[in-house]
Amino acid sequence: MSEFVSVAIIQARPPYYDLPKCVDKARSLIREAAANGARLITMGETWFPGYPAWLDYVPQAALWDHAPTKQVYARLYQNSPAVDGQEMSELRRLARELDVVLLLGINERVARGRGNRSLYNSIITIDASGEIVNHHRKLRPTFSEQMVWAQGDGAGLSAADTAVGRVGGLICWEHWMPHARQALHISNETIHAALWPAVKESHQVASRHYAFEGRCFVLAAGSIMLAADLPNEFELPEALRADPDQLLLHGGSAIIDPDGEYLAEPVYGEETILYAELNLERIIEEQMTLDVTGHYARDDVFSFEVNRRRLE
């Protein structure tokens, strides 16, 4: 593991619910980030093929037996990648070619023929060798998200060894689940990807708290979405129809030091790639005062256990 690691967050607007175009755009942006020296690259929550923000912006979407919602879900399902599918294979080859580590947020479709038609909100960690070294499914879809995603499990609730060190990630409101955080902390995480639809103020607080608590670097990754990106199957409210260029997801991506301070300040409202050079010795420096899995732990008082069985 090198002492310094160059990292990047791709804050971009995915071609919503068009998986081939998502892969093409991601490939181009990953190549750009790698050409600028990044060894670890991440993107926002379910970037492939986009976060279902219509859950928050279309009042009729949650109605029982609503035909447009069913049609949108079917289109999302058809454009979601499988972990062992063609699109993921292409991205694995790209990681190997560029010698980079990728942490990718996907709407995960289980491979056809397995009898499981559910979607999962997942993080796939691809090492620089092209090998998938971790596969985490969001433990609890939040509120209306339960219409779209099934519950995940603890199988991927850990950091993984990669070419740049021990790398892990959590998705959105998992950062407010103390046990989920602790499971990552005890796995000796050095770099953490915090994947959000957009990193609004409360998400900044959670990401900075995670860095301080875990004494690790945090890449808080958000995406860009316009009103025009909402599925055309829905009848949109007048305010959205009148201003299709208004931002629904405004990015906010940032890179945070183990003391909770920003290495790269949040960027809002634009497509960009954020970069930072991480000095991994900063982790040891900050652990002198707080190490929640070392001298600040009380294993004689608390016990902790994770069920890491994959639920199919």
Determine contact, residues 130/92, Cβ cutoff 8 Å. Answer: yes
Neighbour-count burial for 36-68, b at 16+ CB within 10 Å, e otherwise: eebbbbbbbbbbbbbbbbbbebbeebeeeeeeb
> CA–CA separation, 47 vs 249, rounded Å?
12
Active-site residue flag, 172: yes
> If DSSP codes are grouped into helix, strand and coil, which group holds residue 244?
coil
Catalytic: which of 45, 145, 189, 286?
45
List 254's β-bridge partners, or say none: 220
In sequence order, the 6+-apart residues with CB closer than 8 A to the CB of 42 are: 7, 8, 9, 10, 102, 103, 104, 105, 169, 193, 195, 219, 221
Determine contact, residues 125/162, Cβ cutoff 8 Å. Answer: yes
Active-site residue flag, 145: no
**In a 10 Å sphere around its CB, with 0-12 CB exposed, 13-18 middle and 19+ buried, how is residue 140 labelled?**
middle
Determine contact, residues 62/70, Cβ cutoff 8 Å. Answer: no
- From residue 185, how far is each of 169, 247, 279 by CA, in Å? 11, 34, 19
Catalytic: which of 22, 87, 108, 138?
138
Active-site residue flag, 138: yes
> CA–CA separation, 153 vs 108, rounded Å?
14
Half-sphere exposure of 35 (CA within 13 A, CB side): 7
In sequence order, the 6+-apart residues with CB closer than 8 A to the CB of 97 are: none
> CA–CA separation, 253 vs 274, rounded Å?
8
Catalytic: which of 22, 87, 172, 174?
172
Q: What residues are annotated to the active site?
A: 45, 138, 172
